[in-house]
Structures are given as structure tokens and as C-alpha cells.
Amino acid sequence: MSDDIRDERLSRLYREAEAAAPPEALDRAILAASRAALAPARRRARWQAWTLPMGVAATLVLTVTLTLLVQREQEPPLGEAPLPRAPAAAPQERAEPGAELPAKTAAPPAAKREAVRREAEAPPPAPTPAASRPASQPPVVEQKALPAPAPEAVGAAEPARPAAAMRRQSAPAADAVEMRAKSAPLRKEAAGAAAARTPEQWLEEIRQLKAQGRDQQAAEALAEFRQAYPDYRLPEDLR
């Protein structure tokens, strides 16, 4: 091969030397590496063909799911009228000791269940508290029933409400249930009405009680209001 420099006798003798060869394990390793170098390229190409459709499908599913979830959360549960959010809890209430945490976390579902149960039992809510009330109906009954349903209704419509307010509504659960049992069907009606009432409407009713000279009832209603909305800033005329 290398022109006239090569010595044929030397070459022949060299070829008669013991033929060294690579170990079989080395052969296998190299051939495996040569095949492996080709395999990922094929697999990647096949996968890449599915990347775009899979990505589009995943995006669509995610979008539809999120839209449905948001719509479901915006709908008022069981035909309940949407209520304004309760005022935010005071900072010191948020920073209460950790021992109360289990009660806080357990409260919302319990309150919600209770509200749902009573909503199912109660007749349709009264349209407006004062204007539509018949003259013969004693307003006292309605006012007495006011405080109890209001927190429940808020709790049902708002699972993420401040912990202190929720605790106040659900902790004395036994007492509340007992009281509610005593005040029969009229109370259920009032509960329905109160559930659809905003704090402003509630305060307007208190003002009307005061205007009618029923100070005792107005004071009781105001105390219940404060219990239900401890952080609500009362108007000057009701302080």
C-alpha cells in the first residue's frame, strides 16, 4: 500500500503474529451504543408529532374546567340570593391562639350544612322586610328571628369568610339549634327573609323599630346585629 517502501516479507511475518482482537464485551458495548444513538432520535420524532395536539387538548380541557368551576362558584347555592361579603375580620382576631384553629377549620362546613338544611325546610324568602310585611303580622317575631339566620346565610354563601365570625356562628351551635326549635314556623319564615337581607337592610329595620318607639326590640336587634357583624361600622344614629 505504501509504495515501494513496504517490505513484503516483513508484512507477511507481521500477519502471522497472534491476531489480537477486542474483547466480545467491548464489541457488544460499542454496538449497543451505536444502536442507542439512533433510537432516541426516532422516539423523539414520534413524540414531537404529538406535542402540538396534546398541548392544545390539554389547554382546552384546562380552560373549560376552570370556566365551569368559576361559574359554579359564582352561582348562589340552592337559589339563595347573593349576599355582600361580610367585613374583614380584625387583625387581632386573625392572630388568635392556635388551639382554636381546629374549631375554625371545622366551622365552615358545619355552618354550611346547617344553612343548607334550613334553606330546604324554609318557605321562599319574603321579598322585602318592611314594605311588603302585612300590617297584621307582628314585627317582633320577625325581628327576634333575625340574628340567627344571618350568620348562617353568610357562612353558606361565603366559605372563606373570616374565622372569628364563623366561629361565633358555629361554636354555640347547640344553643342556636335549641332556640330555633323553640321558635317554630314563623322563625323559619324570618330566617328565609333574613338570609336574603343585607346588613344595610337589617340596619334600616332597626331604624324603623326605633322610629316606632320599640326601643327594647331595637336594642336587642342591634345587639344581634353586632354579634353577626362585629366589624361592621355602625352609622352614627345607631351607635
Contacting residues toward another protein, per CB under 8 A: 1-3, 5-7, 9-11, 13-23, 26-27, 29-31, 33-35, 37-38, 41-42
Nearer to another protein by C-beta: 38 or 99?
A: 38
Least separation in angstroms between CB 52 and another protein: 24
How far apart (Å, rounded) are the C-alpha atoms in residues 50 and 53? 6
Q: Which amino acid is at 28?
A: R
Nearer to another protein by C-beta: 1 or 211?
A: 1
Least separation in angstroms between CB 59 and another protein: 33
Nearer to another protein by C-beta: 35 or 182?
A: 35
Residue 65 CB-half CA count within 13 A: 6
C-alpha cell at 146: 333575625
- Cβ-count burial of 33 within 10 angstroms (0-12 exposed, 13-18 middle, 19+ buried)? exposed
184 phi and psi, to 5 degrees? -25, -145
Least separation in angstroms between CB 43 and another protein: 12
Nearer to another protein by C-beta: 6 or 182?
A: 6
